[in-house]
Amino acid sequence: MNIIDKYLSLLVVIICIVTIISGIMQIAAPHLVLTTMSAETSPTSSYFFAIVGMFMALFGGLMLHAIYSARTSPEAILWCAFQKLGAFVAVTMAVMNGIFSPLALGVSFFDLFSGLLFLYYLKQRREQWPS
């Protein structure tokens, strides 16, 4: 058993908690987060960024719920992975188009890692579920 498999559930839980917290931060202080990424900070951009934060918090909560449910939903895990991979593409494109500073690539690659890890988690759990 490799180190990823040994701590896979813990790592996924940590990612879920970080996602929920960062989503709540985007809801509570979108201007601060946008300023950190050197992005436009108009009332409109702050409002829509807060909406994105709401969905981040919701998907983080959904994944956490899927992990701890008596009957895990593979569909929920799959869609949470898609959300993370979609966020990777969106943030990377925003950096490439000069909307976010290169600092945002840290967030982008965290989402890529998270999405791939969620897919790996799904694969590992499917092997353990009865047919």
Q: What confidence tens digit (pLDDT) does each residue in 51-104 have?
A: 999 999 999 999 999 999 888 899 999 999 999 999 999 999 999 999 999 999
Q: How far apart are CA 81 and CA 44, in angstroms?
A: 28
Residue 84: strand, helix, or coil: helix
Q: What confidence tens digit (pLDDT) does each residue in 25-34 have?
A: 999 999 999 9
Burial of 38 (0-12, 13-18, 19+ CB in 10 A): middle
Burial of 18 (0-12, 13-18, 19+ CB in 10 A): middle
1 in Cβ contact with 29 (< 8 Å): no
